[in-house]
A and B are shown apart, each in its own frame.
Chain A
Amino acid sequence: MAKKKRRMLGRAALTVLAAAFAIAFLLPTVLTITNSFMTKAEIDANYGIVFSGGAQGGSSTYMSETVNLKFIPDKVSLSQYWTTLFQSPEYLLKFWNSVILVVPIVLLQVAIAALAAYSFTRYRTKFKAVLFFFYVILMLMPYQVTLVPNYLVSDWLGILNTRWAIILPGAFAPFSVFLLTKFMRRIPKALIEAAKLDGAGEWQIFSRICLPQCRSALYSIAILVFIDYWNMVEQPLILLPDAEQQPLSVYLSTINAGEIGLAFAVATIYMIPSLLLFLHGEEYLVEGIAHSGSVKG
Chain B
Amino acid sequence: MGKRFQKLNGRLREHIMSFGFLGPSLLGVGLFFIVPFGIVVYYSLIQSNLNPEFAGLQNFINLFENSSFRTAAKNTLMFSAMAVPLAVVLSLLLALMLECRIPAKSQFRTFFLSPMMVPVASVVLIWQVVFHYNGTLNVFLSVFGVDKIDWLKSDYCLIVILVLFLWKNLGYNMILFMANLNNIPKELLEVADVEGASAAYKFFAIKLRYLSPTVLFVTILSLINSFKVFREVYLLTGDYPFEGLYMLQHFMNNTFKSLDYQKLSAAAVIMAIAMVILIAILFLAEDRFGRDVEG
Q: Out of B36, B114, B279, which one reaches A25, CB within 8 Å?
A: B114
Residues facing B in A71-122 (CB within 8 A) are 112-113, 115-116, 118-120, 122
Residues on B with beta carbons closer than 8 Å to the beta carbon of A142? 224, 227-228, 271, 275
Is B74 part of the binding interface, using a Cβ–Cβ cutoff of 8 Å?
no
Contact of B32 among A153, A234, A285 (CB under 8 A): A153
Q: Which residues of A contact B253 (CB under 8 A)?
A: 237-238
Encode contact with B along A244-280: 1 for CB under 8 Å, 0 otherwise: 0000111011000000000110011011001101100
Query: How large, as a class, is the contact surface on chain A?
Result: 35 or more
- The answer to whether B120 and A233 have CB atoms under 8 Å apart is yes
Instruction: Give B269-287 as 1s and 0s: 1 = Cβ < 8 Å from A's Cβ atoms.
Output: 0011001100100000000
CB-based contact B24/A116 at 8 Å? yes
Interface residues of A in 162-184 (CB under 8 A from B): 168-169, 171-172, 174, 177
Contact B214 A116 (CB under 8 A): no
Which one of B57-65, B125-133, B153-161 is at the A interface? B125-133
Q: Pick from B20, B33, B101, B113: contact of A282, CB below 8 A.
A: B113
**Cβ contact of A144, chosen from B109, B123, B248, cutoff 8 A:** B248
Given contacts A149-B37, A290-B176, contact A233 B123 (CB under 8 A): no
Q: Does A190 contact B (CB under 8 A)?
A: no
Whether a CB of chain B sits under 8 angstroms from the CB of A200 is no
- 17 A-B residue pairs with Cβ-Cβ distance under 8 Å, sorted by A, are A11-B100, A18-B102, A21-B94, A22-B107, A28-B115, A67-B135, A122-B18, A140-B220, A168-B28, A172-B25, A234-B230, A248-B121, A264-B125, A267-B123, A278-B113, A278-B116, A282-B110
How far, in whole Å, are A276 and B240 apart by their CA atoms in the complex?
35
The answer to whether A146 touches B33 (Cβ under 8 A) is yes
Residues 120-176 of A at the B interface (beta carbon under 8 Å): 120, 122-123, 128, 131, 134-135, 137-138, 140-153, 168-169, 171-172, 174
Chain A residues whose C-beta falls within 8 Å of the C-beta of B32 in the assembled complex: 149-150, 153, 168-169, 172
The dominant DSSP class at the B interface is: helix
Docked Cα-Cα span, A116 to B178, in Å, equals 29
Is A230 interfacial (CB-CB < 8 Å)?
Answer: yes
**B236 — which chain A residues lie within 8 A by C-beta?**
253
A202 CB within 8 Å of chain B: yes
The stretch that binds A, out of B1-9, B167-175, B200-208, is: B167-175
Tell me the chain A residues, 29-80 only, with Cβ under 8 Å from chain B.
Answer: 29, 31-32, 35, 47, 49-51, 54, 65-67, 69
Closest beta carbon of chain B to A227's beta carbon, Å: 6
